Amino acid sequence: MPLTSTCAKKLRSGDLVEVRTPDDIFLTLDVSGTVDGLPFMPEMFVFCGKQFRVSGRAVTTCISGGDWPRGFRTNDIVTLENIRCSGAAHDNCQKGCVIFWHEAWLRKAENPILTDADLRGAERLRTRLNTKTSLNTYYCQASELPKITEVLSRWERLAKYFAGLRAGNFSVLQMAQSIGIWLFWKFHRLFFGVSARGHRDATPAENLNLQPGEWIEVKLIEDIIDTLDEKGQNRGLSFSPGMSLLCGERYRVKARIDKIILDGTGEMRQLRDTVCLEGSTCGCAYMGFGASGCSRCELLYWREIWLRRSHRYQ
């Protein structure tokens, strides 16, 4: 019989939990290595037996190239603080997705940390997990996201939004702020269209060969618009409304982004001249009412042509 969550109450933001042993997790999985369609990935092994704080309940999420916001089909998925996928088992995908955790894979941290003896079932668990469905198609939480979520109606978005509030994902003040951001961008699109829209047919590229740890400055919006097409994209990568708020600010390069697995398809997409920055994640409030509770907290991807080196802090 599959092992189910032993949490007497639903986990909330701030709860201390421990990731179960490989043997316990194996008993929760179906033949596809999932619980309710959510895959347990090989990259998650390293967290077995370790303790973390719950970041929040996974209520709504965004998805690239699809309708959003979307709602999870089940109410037993959470995210953990500062836990992202390394991509090591998926040909080193660099997307850095937040990992979703089914409550059945966790338990309240009331007992000591697991010992090495508790982790001996790792190899049996590995045999249950998949990383590809074909030679060129990868299998992970991002590839399966459309299957474990559903498009929400306007009223369903509202219900999910208040569900996130009850779960402690955000406060009343944060909720009010995000609604204000959504209203701002809604009227901005109504009167001005896409926030950063260029006029180029073929968009330019620039290779700065930025490396992790380097300081950069985001260029002014006028300079960035000159690199975009009418859809607000540079070689297919969108410059989102939230990114315009960071123009003129300084950040450190977190990593270069050369390849990512696409949401829903499992296709590995190659990228050029693209980096992510420390502390630069997607703010979903501008996407639509109810999206501020988005649990993905996606890394923002920056074309190097939108940035310049900064020596102020070096």
Lowest mean pLDDT among 48-62, 102-116, 154-168: 102-116
User: What per-residue confidence (pLDDT) applies to 152?
Assistant: 85
Q: Which residues, 6+ apart, have CB-to-CB distance to 157 below 8 Å?
A: 60, 69, 71, 288, 289, 290, 291
Instruction: Judge whether 211 lies within some domain.
Output: no
* Domain-embedded: residue 281: no
pTM equals 0.85
User: What is the structure's pLDDT at 176?
Assistant: 79
Give the mean pLDDT of the chain.
86
Domain assignment of residue 68, yes or no = yes
Q: Per the domain annotation, does 31 fall within a domain?
A: yes
Cβ pair 269, 259 in contact under 8 A: yes
pLDDT digits (tens, 9 = 90+) for 55-83: 999 988 888 876 667 889 999 999 999 99
pLDDT tops 50 at residue 148: yes
Contact 102, 35 (CB under 8 A): yes
Higher pLDDT, 289 or 279: 279
Q: 285 versus 104: which is more confidently predicted?
A: 104
Look at residue 36 and tell me if it is in a domain.
yes
Count of domains forming the chain: 1
Please tell me the distance from the alpha carbon of residue 2 to that of residue 165, in angstroms, as a whole number: 31
Domain extent for 113:
16-151
pLDDT tens digits, one per residue of 238-265: 898 778 889 999 999 999 999 999 999 9
- Whether residue 210 is contained in a domain is answered as no
Question: In the predicted model, is pLDDT for residue 291 greater than 80?
Answer: no
In eight-state DSSP terms, residue 69 is: S
pLDDT band at residue 114 using 50, 70 and 90 as cut-offs = low
Quote the tokens at residue 19.
Answer: 């990731």
Determine what percent of the chain is predicted with pLDDT higher than 70.
Answer: 86
Residue 39 falls inside a structural domain:
yes
pLDDT at residue number 166: 85
The answer to whether residue 59 is domain-embedded is yes
